[in-house]
Amino acid sequence: MINLTIDDRTVSVEKNATILQAAEKLNIKIPTLCYNEEMAPIGSCRICVVEAIKGGESLIVSACNTGVEEGMKVYTKSEKAIEARKFAVKILYSENPSVKLIRDLAEEYGVVEDINVRKSECIHCERCVHACRDVVGQNAIVLTTCGLSYGNDAPSLKWDFDKCIACGTCAFVCPTGAVKMHDHDGVRTLLTPESKQDFTLKKCVSCGSYFMPEVQAQYLMKKTELPADKFDQCMNCR
Amino acid sequence: MENYNVFASRVVSKNEPLAPGHRACTGCGEVLALRLCAKAFGKNTIVVNATGCMEIIASQAPYNSWRLPWIHTLFENASATASGIEAAIKVLARKNRVPESEINVVAIGGDGSTVDIGIQSLSGALERGHNFTYICFDNEAYMNTGIQRSSATPFGASTTTSPAGKKSIGQSTWKKDMPAIMAAHNIPYVATACPSYPFDLMNKVEKALATKGPAYIHVFSVCPTGWRSAGNLSVRYGRLAVETGVFPLYEIENGVYKMSVEVPELKPLTAYTKGQGRFKHLKEDNLAKIEARVHEEYEKLLEKCNLSAVEEGK
Ligand SMILES: Cc1ncc(C[n+]2csc(CCOP(=O)(O)OP(=O)(O)O)c2C)c(N)n1
Ligand code: SF4
Ligand code: SF4
Ligand code: SF4
Ligand code: FES
Ligand SMILES: [Mg+2]
């Protein structure tokens, strides 16, 4: 077990625990955006930053993906921590003032500037990218990051619909609703921040209800090596 | 509704506030519903549980399946107890002893406990506007004591106190429309749900918890023991109840009706009644009568949803 203090309270946790998990044990709340308990930490939003003092040195670290260390002193509400978090909120707020989650954070941290760079609901937390790659295994979403080769373009997400199997996991994990999925009239529509794609749904041969996207049935057929007629019926008729 | 199926379930919370090892029957749809609700409760929820199957199966002394603060009440006072807890949290928050906004209060009960016996204290708590969520797990009878009819038992169902026989069709009254009674209190959130649609159910519980003020969810819970249906078909029966129009899934948010699952063409009622021992005695004309009523109620609900859509569109 590793012993550390968070906001001057002592806690002892497993050696591979993160600062976020240790804080949770003490019921100390650290805000998160990109973090999803069921996925490996992404560490992209920086909203969870805290001040960590180790070996006499004060560092600003993200709590969701920084491991605990013996004797570490963590401050979640120190001036330095709040300042750093406020900066993260500022960046998000200037890019995504229309997202309620971000507006609430801005209000909480007293961030007022709204330079309104973009109107997208996507906050580039990358949850969808990681979920599609690590959970679904399709790797159909690519984040084109800002960097020298991209000039001053804002980062954007590209969906590769040749790889996508219309499972909607990206929509499920998206914290802002920037990805949406819905079924209607025999079609599943996936709405992403920058594109819209329709997928044909399969019709049950017995009762006639639509139950699964064609592409997904094809994918599962290959994966499970089951014969095609195993994918002809819906869950009720099977 | 978003039909996430296969893959998204891998990122659903693995936290199980209702521990395994409880004593519900094999194939119990009610405990499946409760487990999914508990996942949505998260870590900061106080559960008030009226007597009934879900209380009995989770609390065989000296054991208890709950990993959350949990209190057992009588049938008649679950909502009163929840009201008191909510008021106490307010006082403690005023004294800076707890953060008020982070603690949810949820009261749960069966249909007998909610639709019959606890309705007065529930009505009072809604009327006073307490910030809590009430979830009714409706398995359409008093199951824990051996299948006695309640006012939520559907017309034609045979129970021990509404037995089918030469002179009796079984339950001779129509199911009480509890969500409508709840909506008549003008509370901000009312919804129906079913564990056969797990994402929809969890989403509705999260919404109810986030609602400021009272929220009510009516959860259709298949009971293979009381319905005399096969335990391995509980999830399917839940789906069929929705697809036949017997139990439509919808939300009433601040008075606005919205269908959660749109069923373009209702399946014949027999797809649902077939295989359930409680309906076995029903003749073709009985079933036709019930089906007509189901369709009539469904149409009425659709009309409310359409009206809401038009008003919202304005
Ligand atoms: C006032 C009172 N009357 C009777 C009982 C016995 N009793 C315990 S559980 C139960 C059935 C509850 O039915 P319901 O609320 O529908 O829940 P279910 O068991 O069906 O989930 C009854 C009648 C009781 N505990 N208290
Ligand atoms: S819907 Fe497509 S892009 Fe989204 S997670 Fe599934 S496979 Fe990936
Ligand atoms: S679409 Fe959603 S999940 Fe994906 S990066 Fe944007 S906000 Fe995050
Ligand atoms: S009697 Fe019905 S509701 Fe009660 S535990 Fe058994 S299956 Fe579940
Ligand atoms: S929650 Fe830690 S970086 Fe996003
Ligand atoms: Mg009951």
Whether A20 lines ligand 2, by a CB cut-off of 6 Å, is: no
Same domain, A102 and A7: yes
Whether the per-residue pLDDT at A145 is higher than 80: the answer is: no
Q: Kindly state the average pLDDT of the residues B276-304.
A: 98
Q: Kindly state the average pLDDT of the residues B216-229.
A: 98
Of B46, B70, B44, B45, residue with least CA distance to B57: B70
The predicted structure's pLDDT at residue B90: 95
**HSE-up (13 A, CA, CB side) for residue A190:** 25
Same domain, A86 and A136: no
CB < 8 Å to B6, chain A: 167, 216, 220
List CB contacts of B308: < 8 A, sequence separation 6 or more. B255, B256, B257, B258
The ligand with the least distance to the CA atom of B29 is: 4
Whether the model pTM is above 0.90 = yes
DSSP helix, strand, coil percent of chain A (3-state; round to 5): 30, 25, 50
The predicted structure's pLDDT at residue A238: 83
Burial class (CB in 10 A: 0-12, 13-18, 19+), A198: middle
Residue-range domain boundaries for chain B:
12-313
Residue B226 and residue B12: Cα distance in Å, rounded? 30
Residue B33 and residue A16: Cα distance in Å, rounded? 34
Same domain, A167 and A197: yes
Same domain, A103 and A134: no
A187 within domain boundaries: yes
Q: Taking a C-beta distance cutoff of 8 angstroms, is the pair B267, B294 a contact?
A: no
The predicted structure's pLDDT at residue B103: 94
The predicted structure's pLDDT at residue A95: 82
How much distance in Å is there from the Cα of B180 to the middle of ligand 4?
Answer: 26
Q: Taking a C-beta distance cutoff of 8 angstroms, is the pair B84, B40 a contact?
A: no
Q: Kindly state the average pLDDT of the residues B199-227.
A: 97
Q: Using CA of residue B258, residue A183, residue B192, residue B174, what is the dihedral sign?
A: positive
The predicted structure's pLDDT at residue B314: 58
The predicted structure's pLDDT at residue B262: 86
Q: Taking a C-beta distance cutoff of 8 angstroms, is the pair A64, A35 a contact?
A: yes
Residue A130 and residue B47: Cα distance in Å, rounded? 35
Closest chain B residue to A179, measured at CA? B2
Residue numbers of the domain that contains A39:
2-108
In this structure, chain B runs to a length of 314
Q: Kindly state the average pLDDT of the residues B12-41.
A: 97
Hey, which residues does B108 pair with through a beta bridge? B49, B135
Report the CATH number that the domain containing residue A101 is assigned in CATH. Answer: 3.10.20.740
A32 within domain boundaries: yes
The predicted structure's pLDDT at residue A115: 67
Same domain, A169 and A138: yes
The predicted structure's pLDDT at residue A154: 67
Whether the per-residue pLDDT at B97 is higher than 70: the answer is: yes
Same domain, A91 and A151: no
Whether the per-residue pLDDT at A112 is higher than 80: the answer is: yes
Burial class (CB in 10 A: 0-12, 13-18, 19+), B279: buried
Type and span of the H or E element at A56: none
Q: Taking a C-beta distance cutoff of 8 angstroms, is the pair B218, B263 a contact?
A: no
Backbone φ, ψ for residue B54 (5° rounding): -65, -25
Residue B233 and residue B153: Cα distance in Å, rounded? 20
The predicted structure's pLDDT at residue A147: 53
CB atoms within 10 A of CB B87: 14
A118 within domain boundaries: no
Same domain, A156 and A220: yes
Closest chain B residue to A216, measured at CA? B6
Mean per-residue pLDDT of chain B: 96
How much distance in Å is there from the Cα of A50 to the middle of ligand 5?
Answer: 11
Last residue of a domain, one of A75, A108, A141: A108
The helix/strand/coil state of A141 is strand
Whether A141 lines ligand 2, by a CB cut-off of 6 Å, is: yes
Of B233, B231, B301, B232, residue with least CA distance to B266: B301
A122 within domain boundaries: no
Q: Taking a C-beta distance cutoff of 8 angstroms, is the pair B73, B50 a contact?
A: yes
For domain B12-313, give its CATH number from 3.40.50.1950, 3.40.50.300, 3.40.50.970, 3.40.50.620: 3.40.50.970
Whether the per-residue pLDDT at A153 is higher than 70: the answer is: no
Higher pLDDT pick, B182 / A27: B182
Residue-wise pLDDT tens digits, B231-268: 999 999 999 999 999 999 999 999 999 999 988 899 99
Residue-wise pLDDT tens digits, B142-159: 999 999 999 999 999 999
Q: Kindly state the average pLDDT of the residues B220-241.
A: 98
Whether the per-residue pLDDT at B101 is higher than 80: the answer is: no
Whether A102 lines ligand 3, by a CB cut-off of 6 Å, is: no
Q: Kindly state the average pLDDT of the residues B12-27.
A: 96
A93 within domain boundaries: yes
Backbone φ, ψ for residue A153 (5° rounding): -65, 145
The helix/strand/coil state of A21 is helix
Mean per-residue pLDDT of chain A: 92
Q: Which of B2, B10, B239 sits opposite A135 (nearest CB)?
A: B10
The predicted structure's pLDDT at residue A203: 94
- Cα B99 to Cα A75, A105, B81, B89, B286: the distances in Å are 19, 17, 20, 8, 55
- pLDDT band at residue A97, thresholds of 50, 70 and 90? confident
Q: Kindly state the average pLDDT of the residues B34-57.
A: 97
Work out the percent of chain A whose per-residue pLDDT is above 90.
Answer: 78
Residue-wise pLDDT tens digits, A119-138: 678 999 999 999 999 999 99
The predicted structure's pLDDT at residue A54: 92
A36 within domain boundaries: yes
A55: left (phi > 0), else alpha (psi -120 to 50), else beta? Answer: left
Same domain, A53 and A140: no
Residue B294 and residue B87: Cα distance in Å, rounded? 41
The predicted structure's pLDDT at residue B5: 73
Higher pLDDT pick, B50 / A93: B50
Residue-wise pLDDT tens digits, A192-205: 998 999 999 999 99
List CB contacts of B215: < 8 A, sequence separation 6 or more. B132, B133, B134, B187, B188, B189, B190, B191, B207, B208, B209
Q: Kindly state the average pLDDT of the residues A39-43.
A: 95
Of A69, A77, A74, residue with least CA distance to A31: A77
Whether the per-residue pLDDT at A148 is higher than 60: the answer is: no
Domain count, chain A: 2
Residue A89 and residue B236: Cα distance in Å, rounded? 46
Hey, which residues does B253 pair with through a beta bridge? B189, B256
The predicted structure's pLDDT at residue B4: 81
Same domain, A45 and A95: yes
The predicted structure's pLDDT at residue B42: 87
Same domain, A178 and A80: no
Mark out chain B residues that contact chain A at CB-CB < 8 A.
Answer: 1-8, 10-15, 102, 199, 236, 239-240, 243, 262, 265, 267, 271
Last residue of a domain, one of A74, A108, A142: A108
Q: Kindly state the average pLDDT of the residues B112-122.
A: 98
CB atoms within 10 A of CB B89: 22
Backbone φ, ψ for residue B286 (5° rounding): -60, -45
Pocket, ligand 1, Cβ cutoff 6 A: B 30, 51-54, 75, 109-113, 137, 139, 142-145, 150
Whether the per-residue pLDDT at A228 is higher than 70: the answer is: yes
Same domain, A142 and A66: no
